[in-house]
Structure 1
């Protein structure tokens, strides 16, 4: 998790950072599942699943935002060339 956090802070591109944040979220879900197993608390698995869904939807939203921002920048560059 530390390496994923370091990659998220230092990643050379936006997509590397998003991938690192996604990996951090996945490791968090796995950690919640292991804690649920060791403590015998199956309700933690519900939290892990909810966190996994939030992580997935959040990553898709961030990627869509950066994709639309990139498309807008490309359109502006085309307009300036004309």
Structure 2
């Protein structure tokens, strides 16, 4: 953890994929916007006050309306 991390926040590991990309890859084609790697689970770390804030941050960056699906959230120790 960085020396500049706000110690009131917790780091969460969020695993997510893009369902639209996953469906395209199954059909041997690529998505118009997102890279094929989004067919697989990607892990991102988010510093937030709690799990709900972490999920809100992820939703803001990777919206479910664009096909992103959160597979798992866990607190990083």
Instruction: Give the shorter-chain TM-score range.
Output: under 0.3
Between structures 1 and 2, the one with greater strand share: 2
